[in-house]
């Protein structure tokens, strides 16, 4: 799943979301902690894939981003975090909408992407998930930007995506190829 706007509150300016500037501003969205704990208890791995280009741009420090990720680990809200610090013009393979971070996580964790989900609040998240072969959930905050092309399901929060996952898909069935 994506981080900003999915797990924590984004700062929205002129209809566009931005990451929090400080650890103090890094606030979980309602229902996120319970949702992730339910997903993990059901047997799902929770891996965060996040673009953080403000580090490369000099707007954000890597230490602040690392402190946010340490909080996620300490609160047991993820199994792993993949981060792309590149700017768009760097044309790397890890920056969403390219699926590099998802593919890396799948290789490291031996994950079947056909039996995986990508939850995001921006078109880049959905495109990366689709490119990797995941079922995609789009949290629609109606940002003033490009909308994703054909997400598998549109939801209003991670909590709604989590409920859908837990109702529609049994992780034990997925592990045995019975999806």
Catalytic residue among 4, 54, 125, 173: 4
Predicted confidence at residue 177, as pLDDT, reads 46
HEC string for the chain: CCCECCCECCEEECCEEECCCCCCCCCECCCHHHHHHHHHHCCCCCEEEEECCHHHHCCCCHHHHHHHHHHHHHCCCCCEEEEECCCHHHCCCCCCCCCHHHHHHHHHHCCCHHHCEEEECCHHHHHHHHHHCCEEEEECCCCCCCCCCCCCEEECCHHHHHHHHHHHCCHHHHHCCCC
Q: What is the pTM of this model?
A: 0.93
pLDDT tens for 10-48 read: 999 999 999 999 999 999 999 999 999 999 999 999 999
pLDDT tens for 135-175 read: 999 999 999 999 999 999 999 999 999 999 999 886 665 55
**Non-local CB neighbours of 109 within 8 Å, separated by 6+ positions:** 45, 47, 79, 80
**Residue 114 neighbours by CB distance under 10 Å:** 12
Residue 4 among the catalytic residues: yes
HEC string for 65-96: HHHHHHHHHHCCCCCEEEEECCCHHHCCCCCC
CATH number of 11-175: 3.40.50.1000
How far apart, in whole angstroms, are the C-alpha atoms of residue 177 and residue 21? Answer: 42
Catalytic residue among 2, 54, 80, 152: 2
How far apart, in whole angstroms, are the C-alpha atoms of residue 72 and residue 44? Answer: 16
pLDDT tens for 83-140 read: 999 999 999 999 999 999 999 999 999 999 999 999 999 999 999 999 999 999 999 9
Predicted confidence at residue 178, as pLDDT, reads 40
């Amino acid at each position: 799943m994506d981080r900003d706007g999915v797990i924590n509150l984004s700062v929205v300016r002129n209809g566009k979301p931005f990451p929090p500037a400080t650890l103090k501003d890094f606030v979980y969205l309602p229902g996120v902690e319970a949702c992730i704990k339910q997903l993990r208890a059901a047997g799902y791995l929770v891996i965060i894939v996040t673009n953080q280009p403000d580090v490369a741009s000099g707007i954000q420090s890597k230490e602040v981003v690392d402190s946010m990720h340490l909080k996620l680990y300490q609160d047991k809200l993820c199994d792993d975090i993949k981060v792309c610090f590149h700017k768009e013009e760097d044309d790397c393979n890890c920056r969403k909408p390219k699926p590099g971070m998802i593919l890396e996580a799948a290789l490291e964790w031996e994950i079947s992407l056909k039996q995986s989900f990508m939850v995001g609040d921006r078109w880049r998240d959905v495109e990366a998930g689709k490119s990797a072969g995941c079922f995609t959930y789009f949290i629609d905050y109606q940002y003033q930007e490009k909308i994703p092309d054909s997400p598998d399901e549109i939801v209003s929060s991670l909590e709604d995506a989590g409920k859908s996952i837990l109702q529609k898909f049994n992780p034990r069935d997925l592990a045995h190829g019975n999806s």
